[in-house]
Structure 1
């Protein structure tokens, strides 16, 4: 599942956007769902099947933001070998039980979990963590530079490279980064390529079913969740109890 883009904004602010590619037969996610984990309120769209999520965020104080995003697969498409210990979606929520991404990396038990990639943004730092079923690999990309990731279980290396080209082309056309702008990219880039475009639909019940954007600002953070099947957009501001939901 998933394509993830990361955009740094001035003054340490950021945008993280995730397109969820999934079977339409899978039950629709619930949003917003919140859970208190390690003295912080974590917000996420919940997968009712695995009870986890592919993206979650929490703002512990005015500046301390943690956002975790999941993509299926490590480096290459793999053959599933169940049973696994639990859903990869629960790994996303498990990160919040640790004091930091560094602490999670040092102490988490990755054994008997299906391969995955995690993108973690925390306190101005960016992590890319890949588990291939045997070994954990981690690196810290430059948080001042835009980045994009595509799930290796759905997109072959040549397609991943093509999507990177779309992203770089889009970046050169931008004066500044906005929620509306990056969401438009996730809906329109690669238009005409139904199998591999950002808004993917392979005609076999597998397509892009939702779009989530997290905006972290200097004073507030917000999460925007759009169910692309029902055309319903929901918004949650992390620092208040206000919530809006509307169809369009």
Structure 2
């Protein structure tokens, strides 16, 4: 049975005190996780060690970083390596988020290197993929996402793939006023799973967790998560509000 996950990406938000309060509010919200369900919290780099302390006594809640460097170590001022993340107890790392691709020009090839470094340090990548509006309008979203998968993941073997989580981000539905329907999410998730099956086999495809990263909120999370190939969500803005994030988790 593949894992069901709700991951909260804080992005560049909150002070340390605000982050501590948010975590405390989440863990005290009466969330009961079933077998195979996980919660992942991804604060900014400076808060990682502190958040790890706050969640250490809560089984099923894990720590993620929002990025890692594409080099092992060295003179890369301002970068944070996968080895550093592992040393403070990071369990997951978000790689290839649409904002990293757009604002920092991260390429599929660079992400393949980051994935390898994360895996080498025992950290599970949450690999983000998804298409912008012009690609969706041209109805070439499948080809676009397939290329992202091929260029960043296809160098792995099936054993390594077991430690990968995929997050589908319909970029055109984030902050644009447009909304991806549950059917559109399901269609793309099913397509991604079919591509994994073609490359890595049916067993690998059935086992991989695929999250939805398109502005999920309490009002639509239940419908999205009910889709056959949607295994949870990568949550942005709603993860900054404890009541909303807890409600989304409970939608699993």
TM-score bracket, shorter-length normalisation: 0.3 to 0.5
TM-score by length of 1: 0.34
Hey, which of these two has a bigger chunk of strand by percent?
A: 1
TM-score between both structures, scaled by the size of structure 2: 0.34
Q: Which has the higher helix share?
A: 2
